[in-house]
Structure 1
Amino acid sequence: MPEATSPYDVLVIGAGYAGLTAMHELKKAGKNVLLLEARERVGGRVWTKRFDDGSYVDLGGAWVGPTQDRLYALTNEFGVDTFKTYDEGKSTQFFRGQVKRYKGLIPPLPVGALLSLDAAIKKMNKLSKTVNLAEPWATPKASKWDSMTLATWMNQQMSFDVARQFFKIAAEAIWAADPAEISMLHALFYTKSGRDLDTLMNIKNGAQEERFVGGAQTIANRMAATFSDQLIFNSPVKAIVQTGDLVSVVTDRQTYQAQRVIVTVPPILQNRIDFQPLLPAQRAQLIQRMPMGSVWKCYAIYDKPFWRNQGLNGLAATPDGHITVTFDNSPKDGSQGVMMGFVLGNQAKEFSGLSDEDRKLSALHSFATFFGQEALKPIRYLDHSFMDEEWSRGCYAGLMGPGVWTTLGPSLRQPIGRIHWAGTETSDIWNGYIDGAVRSGERAAKEIMMYDV
């Protein structure tokens, strides 16, 4: 084991929004803290890719919306502006070989299917209100909901295949997973965590209402600049060793010691750390059973947002092809047209098997189907998947399949000796979102400050 440093009060592992927030709070409290990050950058699953011409795209988390108060607080504290996501004009639906344009939130589906879809959304919102966010396993009927998948519930609720198809599109966009992979209890928990399905799905008054001028990583960069001398990059943690009153954190280059440690990396990556003594069986089982979501973001950049001239808002949905949902991700001033398409769930797994060129052809074909032949000639195309990133292995967040919340949920946030847990997966409010990550960092910092560190 490399020689150890003098002990810190706290070591924080992972410089995503959870780790940065924990660091920020502990620094304000006067603690001697060090932040270790495996990558060469901060932000974690929030990454703003910049180009030589000054333009940028968000390859990870990108939006902020109503009730995401902790993220808005950081936005104000670090002087980052936001702007409304473009949604003026008609939305687009491609279904059964036909392109249809429509105004408002209601897609042009057959009446029976539409009523069935609406009833299922209302029912899920109602059921989600019964969830105990702090202790989902204590929810009334928790065992019932945790014994089935979201897909099972959907099949019970909606007799119309069309309704199920469009509910599935929304579910994949919300969880980056197939409904058959998610526990119904987890779906209800997540829905209440972000208010309701309407909030999670919508732009106006929803989770996608605003974006950040300069990209979503801007706040992270500004936070990190305030403690750059206490942030070490390229330092993956190999082992965490608890002995007596100290915790040793081992990297390839150095061993660091502290009175307490906050681990903020996704649960699935905690399997790569050698914990000594071994993690308790419940914790070990939990992190084995929280796979990450599956998603690609596909970007086509044009010299202008040409779809706006057609009276379109850039929103599209379809059950066909790889890309099933699109958003207008153009800059605030509309100086370029940036079309973003999501490839989600099982489609994302299939997409990962394609060559670079075939992924591009598939994405541009989808954009052209929605918005016309002009979409085939972008000035730049790129796509990205956090599934291929060593220090994420997926996005948006770790998910709970059937049986996990009710049998292993209590160990999600429970400290183990001097090790504390953060990350958006541990948040009871806005779980899976940047705001959830921020809240988890604040909670972990408060836990630490309860002790005489």
Structure 2
Amino acid sequence: MKNYDVIVIGAGYAGLTATRELIKAEKEVLLLEARDRVGGRVYTKYYDDGSYLDLGAAWVGPTQDKIYALAKEFGVQTFPTYDEGKSTLLFNKKVKRYNGLIPPLPIGSLLSLDFAIKRMNKLSKTIDLQNPWQSPNAAYYDSMTLATWMDKQMSFKTAKIMFKLAAEAIWAADPNEISMLHALFYTKSGRDLDTLMNVKNGAQEERILGGASQPALRLAETFKDNIRLNSVVRSISQENDIVTVKGDDFEFSAKKVVVALPPTLAGRINYYPLMPANREQLTQRMPMGTVWKTYAIYDTPFWREAGLNGLSATNDGYTTVTFDNSPKDGSKGIMMGFVLGNQAKAFSNLSEEERKSSILDSFAKFYGEKARNPLAYIDHSWAAEEFTRGCYAGLMPTGGWTSLGKALREPVGNIHWAGTETSDIWNGYIDGAIRSGERVAKEILG
């Protein structure tokens, strides 16, 4: 049995980055991945005709310096998300088209919404990103959900509905599932709410040419002999400064192990000796968000001819947010709809035909009858993925940060933790995953 310096578990962007940094430091590293591919929650599906769909994370934007640097290093280009023309709001059964960022709502609701966004941005600036539980009023904000705070801030029902739509799109969860302290931490981690919501100057500003998997695939190629796919880790045991990692048909040992998985997945591994109580409790308390990505593929992006940018929002039906995900050259029309939070949970109960019918019905309401007849319809549930169990990321419920937050990144013996959930900057994003991989490598190298 070969003895490594470090074994890394999970070949998403966090695990790939940690592996690369450790190999650079001349360590003997083995990277184990349960799936038959690298990339984790970033998954570009490629088709025979050269087209592709990003079924997982897809966008990059300003201040996400790590993913931009990685793309540049491997000659991977980015291109702007299409947002020329008018956006669409379907609200109370009425379709409204509008230019710019401000939806056509009654003035009272707009002012209420604007006030709540500015208030949240201001509060988020007080958060200690390294130790959120040490932030001013941490216990107070951790004792309430984002939904409770929203209810207190806004008196207009329409403002509350719009804020909820934005929150679902940011966290892939219902606001009643998230601690307000976590919402503030996450907001600051990605700059502010405006950045998290927007296309221009925001987290959805650009896409990766060739698919978001490209930088991961090219990075993995540089140390492919260190990667073992289809290797599900069942147990990790520590004894006399040696860590042994076992699966159904393998057993390896190392001086150090990096677990680069979402906390809920890390909690499914058996540890000997047992994890400290707080680490154990943490992995029980950080559920993943719930999201489906739905795609309809057309001959052309026909909505562009009508002066529409493919961005829409609604409180009607399963898909509440859409984006134009057509290729850079516009050679096909690809409309993507998110199904998020509680809608995603209900959507999971439908048959494939019911799901398709519901999504195309929504697309037709936004963009006309042409939308009912795509060349193809595809949808993907991340909650149904065995080695993900949900997306975009693990979330802290009320009380999570203040009682157990310290256990999120704290090494246990010779076991270290990575993954976007452990990042202080761009938590929940590809950029945060890369940052966590760099951090954990430094931790190990001392």
TM-score category (smaller protein): over 0.9
Q: Distance in 1 between matches of 2:48 and 2:221?
A: 22
Paired residue for 1:106, among 102, 107, 115?
102
2:406 to 384, 388, 410: 410
Q: Is 1:167 the counterpart of 2:134 in the alignment?
A: no
Which residue pairs with 1:43 in the alignment?
39
Cα distance in 1, alignment partners of residues 77 and 412 from structure 2: 39
Comparing 264-273 with 383-392, greater Cα deviation is found at: 264-273
> 1: distance between equivalents of 2:80 and 2:4?
42
The whole-number CA distance in structure 2 between the counterparts of 1:338 and 1:443 is 37
Equivalent residue in structure 1 for 2:361, among 362, 365, 373: 365
State the alpha-carbon separation in 1 of the partners of residues 373 and 210 from structure 2. 25
Tell me, what secondary structure is at the counterpart of 1:447? Answer: helix
Name the residue aligned to 2:86. 90
**Residue in structure 1 matched with residue 56 of structure 2 by the alignment:** 60
Distance 1:405 1:354 in 2: 35
* TM-score, length basis structure 1: 0.98
Shift in Å, 1:269: 1.0
Separation in 1 of the partners of 2:105 and 2:66?
Answer: 38
Q: Secondary structure at the match of 2:244?
A: strand
Question: For 2:276, which of 277, 280, 284 is the aligned residue?
Answer: 280
Which amino acid in the other structure matches residue 85 of structure 1? T
Say yes or no: does 1:8 pair with 2:7: no
> C-alpha distance in 2, partners of 1:352/1:321?
14
Q: Deviations over 1:100-136 (max 9, x none)?
A: 0000000000000000000000000000000000000
Which amino acid counterpart does residue 35 of structure 1 have in structure 2? Answer: L
The aligned amino acid for 2:247 is T
Residues 249-273 of structure 1 show CA distances to partners (whole Å, capped at 9, x for unaligned) of: 0011111010000001111112221
Q: Does 1:182 align with 2:178?
A: yes
User: What do the CA deviations read for 1:238-297 (whole angstroms, capped 9, x no partner)?
Assistant: 000001121000011111010000001111112221100000000000000000000000
Listed as ranges, the gaps of 5+ residues in structure 1 are none
The code of the aligned residue for 1:27 comes to: I
What is the CA RMSD across the aligned residues, in angstroms?
0.5
Matched, 1:254 2:244: no
1:77 CA drift (Å)? 1.1
- Distance (whole Å) between structure 1 residues aligned to residue 26 and residue 55 of structure 2: 34
Determine the structure 2 residue equivalent to 1:355. 351
Counterpart residue number, 1:192: 188
Amino acid at match of 1:100: K
- For residue 387 of structure 1, give the secondary structure of its aligned residue in structure 2: coil
Structure 2: gaps (5+ residues): none
SS at match of 1:353: coil
Q: Which residue number in structure 2 is paired with residue 431 of structure 1?
A: 427
Q: Residue 205 in 1 paired to residue 209 in 2?
A: no
**Counterpart for residue 217 of structure 1:** 213
Residue 346 of structure 1: aligned partner: 342
In structure 1, which of residues 437, 446, 450 is the aligned counterpart of residue 442 of structure 2?
Answer: 446
| Structure 1 residue 53 displacement after superposition | 1.1
User: Counterpart amino acid of 1:447?
Assistant: E
User: Aligned partners of 2:192, 2:385: CA distance in 1, in Å?
Assistant: 31
Contact 2:39–2:217 at 8 Å: present in 1 too? yes
Secondary structure at the residue paired with 1:188? helix
Contact 2:93 2:316 survives alignment (8 Å): no
Letter in 1 for 2:100: G
- Partners of 1:48 and 1:216 lie apart in 2 by 6
CA distance in 2, matches of 1:302, 1:102: 24
Q: Does residue 288 of structure 2 align to residue 292 of structure 1?
A: yes
The code of the aligned residue for 2:90 comes to: F
**Code of the aligned partner of 1:360:** K
Amino acid paired to 1:326: T
Letter in 2 for 1:412: L
Using the alignment, how far apart are the partners of 2:92 and 2:417 within structure 1? 47
Whether the aligned pair in 1 keeps the contact of 2:131 and 2:406 (CA below 8 Å) is yes
What's 2:16 paired with?
20
Segments of 4+ moved more than 3 angstroms: none
- Give CA-to-partner distance per residue, 1:132-185, whole Å, 9 cap, x none: 000000000000000000000000000000000000000000000000000000
Match of 1:330 in 2: 326
- CA distance in 2 between counterparts of 1:352 and 1:197 reads 29
Deviation at 1:60, TM superposition (A): 0.3
- Give the total of aligned pairs: 446
CA distance in 2, matches of 1:421, 1:259: 15
Distance 1:26 1:365 in 2: 50
- Structure 2 distance, partners of 1:144, 1:417, is 33
Structure 1 residue matching 2:82: 3-state secondary structure: coil
Task: From 110, 116, 123, give the equivalent of 1:120.
Answer: 116
Q: Distance in 1 between matches of 2:47 and 2:374?
A: 15
SS at structure 1 position matched to 2:48? coil
- Superposed CA offset, 1:37-75 (max 9, x none): 000000000000111211111000001100001111111
Structure-1 separation of matches of 2:188 and 2:396: 15
List per-residue Cα deviations over 1:73-96 (Å, max 9, x = no partner): 111111110000000000000011
TM-score for the superposition, normalised by structure 2? 1.00
Letter in structure 2 aligned against 1:364: L
**1:390-428, Cα deviation, whole Å (9 max, x unpaired):** 000000000000000000001100000000000000000
Match 1:129 to one of 125, 142, 147: 125
Residue in 1 that maps onto 2:148 = 152
